[in-house]
Chain A
Amino acid sequence: MSNGGTPLAQARALYRVDSELAAPPELADPDTLLNAFHPDHLRSSVVKLAVGANAGENCQRELAQQLQAEAFIDEADLAGAPVTDTDVLIIGGGGAGCAAALAAAGRGARVLLVTKLRLGDSNTVMAEGGIQAAIEPDDSIQRHIQDTLRGGHHAGDPELVSAMAQDGPEVIRWLIEEGMQFEQTASGDLHTRKAGGMSAARIMHCRDYTGLEMMRVLREAVIQHRGIEVWEHSPAVELLSNERGQKCVGAVFTSLLDGRFRIVRTHSVILATGGLGRLHLNNFPTSNHLGATGDGLVLAYRIGAQLRDLDSFQYHPTGLVHPPYLSGKLVTEGVRAAGALMLNAAGQRFVDELLPRDIVCAAILRECAEGRGIRVDDGRVGVWLDTPRLERSQPGMLERQFPKLLARTQMSGIDPRSEPLLIHPTLHYQNGGVVIDVNGATTVPGLFAVGELAGGIHGRNRIMGNALLDIISFGRRAGVAAISEHDRGPKKVTLEHVNQARRALTLAGMPLTQRAPQILPDYAAKGIWNR
C-alpha cells in the first residue's frame, strides 16, 4: 500500500524530540485531498447495488457482496428448533444493546438479549477517547448539533443529530446513576476535552478507559437485571418475518458452541450488532473487535430495510503499525486532543492534527503514498505520532491520562514517552447504516436499529465522542419505543422475506454462491461451523 518510505530504524535515528517544528502547510482544498487519497473515494471500491431497498445506490464493493448474498439458512434447517417468546428481542451485546435492554426492562418488558460473543464483547469496550455532551457554560446543545453536522459534511439527518445532542446531558446523568465514573476537575466538575472538529470542550472521559468503564457497568447492570435474559455465543443468522415478509417478528440464532438453531418470536426486534471492520474493506487493518462483521446490515437489508451512506466509512487516522500484533489498533484521538503532533519521516508536520478524521486520514495516506512515510520490515508504512514531545511538554501526562496506551505498548517493549509511535489509518467506523427515525425505528415494522449499525447521525464522518453518545441515546430511545408495539404478537413466523430476497437476486442475475452474514472472519472461524 505504499511507495518506498524511510526504513524504521533510519527514521528512528533521525527523530529528535526537541527539533524545531514549523506549522503544517495550509490546507487549501480539503475535497481534493479527500478525493485523491481517502479510501471512500477510490473508484474501484464502490459499486451500485442491484437489488433491495437501496437498489441503484452506491455501496462499498465488499459490503455489497455481503448485502446481496444468499441466506445462511433454509426453512428446513429450522425443523425441531426450540422456540422462545419474549416482549423485546435485542440482538447485540455492546453498549447500544445493553442500553436498549435496560430501557425496555426498566419499563417492565421481558427482554431477551442475544449476543454473538460474550456480553460486552464489542467496539464499545475499546472506545478510549470519551463521550460528548454539551455541558460546559461556553457550550450549547446547538453547537453540539452544528459541530456534528459540519463534521459529517452536512450529510447527517438534523432531526437525529438534534435528538442525540439534546439527550447528551441526560445520558451522562443516566450513566452516572448506573455507576459509571468520569474524570473530574478539582472543583468537582466533569473534566472535558476538546477534540477534532469541536468548537468547545465537550468530551468526557474516564482516563483512556471510557469504553471499558461504560461497558463493564452496563454489562453488570444487564446481568443483574431480573427482567433481562442473556444468551451469549449465539450469533443471529436470520430475521423472521410475517407471512407477507413485511414485518419483523423474530430471529433465528445458532450457537458458536454447539451449532444448534434456536427461534425467538417477539413484538419488536432491536438490532444493535455494531460495525463491520472485520470485513477489512479495501484490505485495511481494523481497530474493531473480532465480531464486527456487519451481520446486522445484512439481516436488515434482506428483510427490506432501507440503508444509507453505504460508501462512507471512517478510517481512524491513528491506528498502530508497529508492533505487528497490534496492527490496526487505535491510539485514541485523545492523544492528539491533548496536543500530540504528527510527523512524517523527515520530521515535518504535514496537517493540522485536529481537523476532522477523514481529512487527517487522507493527509497521512498522502504522506505514505508519496514516499514520506516510515516503512517497517513487512512493507507496511506509517507516520510518527509524536508522543515524546507531548510527554516533554507535559511530564507525566501520558501515564496520568493514557494508562491503557502505555500498558499496551510497553508490553511489547515500546515506550511512547521516549519513542514516537508509528501509525497509519485503520478501518474504524461505519458512518452510514440502517435508516432510522428518532426512536431507532427502521423502515420495516417491528424492526429497530441502534448504535454503529444505524446511519444518518454522523453523516459521512463521525467526530470523536459521538459514538458513545449515539449508542446510549438511541439505545435507550429504541428500548422505550420497542415496548409500545402492541399487537398480540406474531401469528406465524416465516422466512418469507428470504424467499423474496432470493427471487430478487435470481431475477437480477446475481450469483447465490456467497452466504451472509459473515459472523466471524474466516481466519478466526476454524472448526466452528462443522461439528
Chain B
Amino acid sequence: MEPLTSILLHPERRVGADMARWAAAGGGQALARAAQDPAGVRVAIREADLRGMGGSGFTVWRKWEAVAAELPKPDKYLIVNGNEDEPGTFKDRMLLEETPHQVIEGALVAALAVGANRVVFYVNPDLKQSLAAVDAAIAQWHASERLAQASKALGRTLELSLRPASGHYIGGEETAAISWVEGGFPFPRGKPPYPAQAGVHGCPTLINNVETLAHVPHIVVHGAEWFRSLGKAPGTGTKLYSLSGDVLHPGVYELPMGTTLRELIFEHGGGLLSGKPLKAVFTGGPSCSLLTPVNLDVGLDFDSLRACGGSLGTGAMIVVSEGTGIVKRVAEYMRFFAHSSCGQCNSCKVGTATMSRLLDRIDTGRGTAADLDTLENLCALLPGSGRCHLISGTVQLLDSSFRHFHNEYRQALR
C-alpha cells in the first residue's frame, strides 16, 4: 500500500545529489525566504510544533531560540546529526542518500534562523552511500550561487563540511557529537552547560537530527498550519517510521505523526508474517520501550506514547510475533547497550555490563532467582544516573519487558 502522505519522501524529491532536479521540485524556495526573514522562520517552527526526530521529541524551537540568543564566540555551529545507529532505525540514511539537498537546505535555513556560520554534516561512517551523496551535494552547493547568497544574508561566510562520525552508538548523543567534531573521543558531557551556550570549541552550537531539518523547508514554504494539519493530533506533520521485524513489508513509511500502531503494521506493513498474532513492538532509539497489543490503537507520536509509558524514540518499530522469545531479544539489546556505553559513568558501564551478563545467563538457562532479583533491583537503582540518557533508556526497556513478560523470565530460570 502506498504511503498516504508523502512530503519528505515524495518521489519528485528523491533525486539524489542532483541540484537541478531538486530545484525543479521546488527546492531553494525556503532558503530564499529565510534569507529575507530569519526570525520569521523561528516563529513558523514554533507554531508548527516541530519535534526532535532523533529520539528526544524535544521541541525544536526552544533549542533554536537558545542558540539564536547567543553571540558567536567567534563562531556558531550547526551539527546535522546523521549518526543513526539505533537498532531498527534506517530513515536518516534514506534522506541523506536520496534527498541530500533537502537536508542541506533545511540545515541552511536553520543556520540563518539561529545565526550559525559553520554547518557540519555528521554522518555515520558505515553509511557509505549517504556519505557519498552528501559529499557530492555539498560540492554542488559550493559551486552554486546559492551558498554565497545565504552567506550574504547571514553576513558572514557559511561553511559546509562533512564529518564522518566515530561509528560509536554513543556518538549520536549531542554532547558526544560535539566532542567528536572537536577532534576527541565521542564522550558525552554533563549538562549544563548546554550546547546552545558552549558547544563545539565553546561556541554556541545547535544540533538537530537529519529528519528534523528535512522538515524545515516545507514548514517555511507551506506554513505551520499546513504542517500541523498533516499530523493526527496531538501529533503534527509527518514522521518517518522505520518498520522492521516480523512484518510482511518492512521499510520506511512516511505517515502522519500519530498514526496508530495498528495502521502502521496492518495497513502499511501488510500485517504479520505467517499471520501470527502480534506479541510486542520494540520502539528504537535512545529510550527504547516495549509496546504490546493493548497499545495497538495508541497514536505513534511523542506525547501519546509517553502518556502510556512508552516512547516513540526515532520512530523505529521492531515488530515481534508470538513465538519470539522476549528474553533473548532483550538480552540482545542489552548486549548492544553494554557495548555502546562509553565508560565515563560507572553506573552506565557497570550497570549495562552487569545486566547484559545476567540476561545472557538467564537466556541460556543458567540464570537463578537471585539473578532476576538483581536485575529488578538494578532497574530500581539505575534510572536517572549517568551524564547522558543511555542508562535510563536501557533500564526503561528492561523494565517494560519485566512489566509485560515477567513470566517468560521466570520460566527461563533454571
**A14 on interface, CB distance cutoff 8 Å:** no
Q: How far is the CA of A528 from the CA of B391 in the complex (A)?
A: 31
**B308 on interface, CB distance cutoff 8 Å:** no
Q: Within 8 Å CB of A257, what residues of B?
A: 368, 370
Least CB distance, A459 to chain B, in whole angstroms: 43
Against B, the Cβ 8 Å flags (1 = close, 0 = not) of A490-531 are 000000000000000000000000000000000000000001
**Chain A residue at minimal CB-CB distance from B369:** A531
Q: How far is the CA of A257 from the CA of B414 in the complex (A)?
A: 11
Q: Within 8 Å CB of A260, what residues of B?
A: 414
**Chain B residue at minimal CB-CB distance from A527:** B370
Q: How far is the CA of A531 from the CA of B370 in the complex (A)?
A: 9
Least CB distance, A261 to chain B, in whole angstroms: 13
Q: How far is the CA of A257 from the CA of B369 in the complex (A)?
A: 8
Q: How far is the CA of A260 from the CA of B414 in the complex (A)?
A: 10
Q: How far is the CA of A531 from the CA of B414 in the complex (A)?
A: 12
**A159 on interface, CB distance cutoff 8 Å:** no
**A399 on interface, CB distance cutoff 8 Å:** no
Q: How far is the CA of A257 from the CA of B367 in the complex (A)?
A: 9
Q: How far is the CA of A92 from the CA of B113 in the complex (A)?
A: 71
Least CB distance, A499 to chain B, in whole angstroms: 31
**A258 on interface, CB distance cutoff 8 Å:** yes
A-facing residues in B344-387 (Cβ within 8 Å): 368-370
Least CB distance, B345 to chain A, in whole angstroms: 25
Q: Within 8 Å CB of A258, what residues of B?
A: 368-369, 414
Q: How far is the CA of A257 from the CA of B372 in the complex (A)?
A: 12
Number of interface residues of A (CB under 8 A): 4
Least CB distance, B245 to chain A, in whole angstroms: 34
Q: How far is the CA of A258 from the CA of B370 in the complex (A)?
A: 8
Least CB distance, A468 to chain B, in whole angstroms: 33
Q: How far is the CA of A88 from the CA of B369 in the complex (A)?
A: 32
**Chain B residue at minimal CB-CB distance from A528:** B370
Least CB distance, B364 to chain A, in whole angstroms: 14
B-facing residues in A41-86 (Cβ within 8 Å): none
Least CB distance, B81 to chain A, in whole angstroms: 44
Q: Within 8 Å CB of B368, what residues of A?
A: 257-258
Against A, the Cβ 8 Å flags (1 = close, 0 = not) of B394-414 are 000000000000000000001
Q: How far is the CA of A258 from the CA of B414 in the complex (A)?
A: 8
B-facing residues in A226-261 (Cβ within 8 Å): 257-258, 260
Least CB distance, A528 to chain B, in whole angstroms: 9
Q: Within 8 Å CB of B370, what residues of A?
A: 257, 531
Q: How far is the CA of A258 from the CA of B369 in the complex (A)?
A: 8
Q: Within 8 Å CB of A531, what residues of B?
A: 369-370
Least CB distance, A480 to chain B, in whole angstroms: 34
Q: How far is the CA of A430 from the CA of B368 in the complex (A)?
A: 35
**Chain B residue at minimal CB-CB distance from A255:** B368
Q: How far is the CA of A531 from the CA of B369 in the complex (A)?
A: 8
**Chain B residue at minimal CB-CB distance from A260:** B414
Least CB distance, B370 to chain A, in whole angstroms: 6
Q: How far is the CA of A260 from the CA of B370 in the complex (A)?
A: 14
Q: Within 8 Å CB of B369, what residues of A?
A: 258, 531
**Chain A residue at minimal CB-CB distance from B413:** A258
Q: How far is the CA of A260 from the CA of B365 in the complex (A)?
A: 14
Against B, the Cβ 8 Å flags (1 = close, 0 = not) of A370-403 are 0000000000000000000000000000000000
Least CB distance, B29 to chain A, in whole angstroms: 67
Q: How far is the CA of A196 from the CA of B414 in the complex (A)?
A: 52
Least CB distance, A248 to chain B, in whole angstroms: 29
**Chain A residue at minimal CB-CB distance from B371:** A257
Least CB distance, B365 to chain A, in whole angstroms: 11
Least CB distance, A447 to chain B, in whole angstroms: 31
Q: How far is the CA of A257 from the CA of B368 in the complex (A)?
A: 7
A-facing residues in B221-239 (Cβ within 8 Å): none
Least CB distance, B5 to chain A, in whole angstroms: 54
Against B, the Cβ 8 Å flags (1 = close, 0 = not) of A461-499 are 000000000000000000000000000000000000000
**Chain B residue at minimal CB-CB distance from A258:** B368
Least CB distance, B153 to chain A, in whole angstroms: 64
Least CB distance, A463 to chain B, in whole angstroms: 42
Against B, the Cβ 8 Å flags (1 = close, 0 = not) of A337-377 are 00000000000000000000000000000000000000000
Least CB distance, B247 to chain A, in whole angstroms: 39
Least CB distance, A257 to chain B, in whole angstroms: 5
Q: How far is the CA of A531 from the CA of B371 in the complex (A)?
A: 13
**Chain B residue at minimal CB-CB distance from A259:** B368
**Chain B residue at minimal CB-CB distance from A257:** B368
Against B, the Cβ 8 Å flags (1 = close, 0 = not) of A258-278 are 101000000000000000000
Q: How far is the CA of A439 from the CA of B368 in the complex (A)?
A: 40
Q: How far is the CA of A260 from the CA of B368 in the complex (A)?
A: 11
Q: How far is the CA of A380 from the CA of B369 in the complex (A)?
A: 40
**Chain B residue at minimal CB-CB distance from A256:** B370
Against A, the Cβ 8 Å flags (1 = close, 0 = not) of B146-187 are 000000000000000000000000000000000000000000
Least CB distance, A159 to chain B, in whole angstroms: 47
**Chain B residue at minimal CB-CB distance from A531:** B369
Least CB distance, A520 to chain B, in whole angstroms: 15
B-facing residues in A263-297 (Cβ within 8 Å): none
Least CB distance, B125 to chain A, in whole angstroms: 37
Least CB distance, B106 to chain A, in whole angstroms: 55
**Chain A residue at minimal CB-CB distance from B370:** A257
Q: How far is the CA of A365 from the CA of B370 in the complex (A)?
A: 44
Least CB distance, A490 to chain B, in whole angstroms: 28
Q: How far is the CA of A251 from the CA of B315 in the complex (A)?
A: 57
Q: How far is the CA of A258 from the CA of B367 in the complex (A)?
A: 9
Q: How far is the CA of A463 from the CA of B369 in the complex (A)?
A: 45
Q: How far is the CA of A531 from the CA of B372 in the complex (A)?
A: 13
Least CB distance, A260 to chain B, in whole angstroms: 8
Q: How far is the CA of A129 from the CA of B370 in the complex (A)?
A: 38
Q: How far is the CA of A62 from the CA of B368 in the complex (A)?
A: 34
Least CB distance, A202 to chain B, in whole angstroms: 44
Least CB distance, A81 to chain B, in whole angstroms: 14
B-facing residues in A106-154 (Cβ within 8 Å): none
**Chain A residue at minimal CB-CB distance from B361:** A257
Least CB distance, B30 to chain A, in whole angstroms: 62
Q: How far is the CA of A459 from the CA of B299 in the complex (A)?
A: 81
Q: How far is the CA of A258 from the CA of B368 in the complex (A)?
A: 6
B-facing residues in A427-442 (Cβ within 8 Å): none
Q: How far is the CA of A260 from the CA of B366 in the complex (A)?
A: 12
Least CB distance, B374 to chain A, in whole angstroms: 11
Least CB distance, A62 to chain B, in whole angstroms: 30
Least CB distance, A318 to chain B, in whole angstroms: 36
Q: How far is the CA of A210 from the CA of B215 in the complex (A)?
A: 67
Least CB distance, B234 to chain A, in whole angstroms: 48
Least CB distance, A232 to chain B, in whole angstroms: 13
Least CB distance, B377 to chain A, in whole angstroms: 14
A-facing residues in B199-248 (Cβ within 8 Å): none
Q: How far is the CA of A531 from the CA of B373 in the complex (A)?
A: 12
Q: How far is the CA of A531 from the CA of B368 in the complex (A)?
A: 10
Least CB distance, B241 to chain A, in whole angstroms: 43
Binding site for A on B (CB under 8 A): 368-370, 414
Instruction: Jot down 8 A-B pairs with beta carbons below 8 A, ordered by A.
Output: A257-B368, A257-B370, A258-B368, A258-B369, A258-B414, A260-B414, A531-B369, A531-B370
A-B interface, 7 closest residue pairs, ranked by CB to CB distance from nearest: A258-B368, A257-B368, A531-B369, A258-B414, A257-B370, A258-B369, A260-B414
With A257-B370, A260-B414, A531-B370 known, 5 other A-B pairs at CB within 8 A are A257-B368, A258-B368, A258-B369, A258-B414, A531-B369
